[in-house]
Amino acid sequence: MWTIIVRAGMMLSTLMIGKQVVDHFWPAEIHPTRLYRVGQIARYLGTTQETVLALVEKGDLKAHWGDNEPRIPGSSVLEFLARTV
């Protein structure tokens, strides 16, 4: 019985890790309360990391600096997209 429980738990955790990997590399939507890395926003917007960094430096995207790289709040990305449409 314990073997079944352990295997089911392992399968569930593997599925959850797979979902996190897919969400990390191919975000389907931007969540306003989440912080994103420059590469994630570049992939979402279909542009380069240099372009995203230029938007941060220009002030079009607000960012919090941590670990010597900007973390961009999802709310900032959504505001930027609303202004450009």
- Whether the CB-CB separation of 55 and 61 falls below 8 Å is answered with yes
Tens digits of per-residue pLDDT, 23-62? 777 767 888 999 999 998 998 888 999 999 999 999 999 9
| Mean predicted confidence (pLDDT) in 14-27 | 82
The answer to whether residue 20 scores a pLDDT higher than 90 is no
CB-CB neighbours of 48 under 10 Å: 13
Mutual angle of helices 38-45 and 49-58, in 10-degree steps? 110
The CATH fold assigned to 2-84 is Arc Repressor Mutant, subunit A (1.10.10)
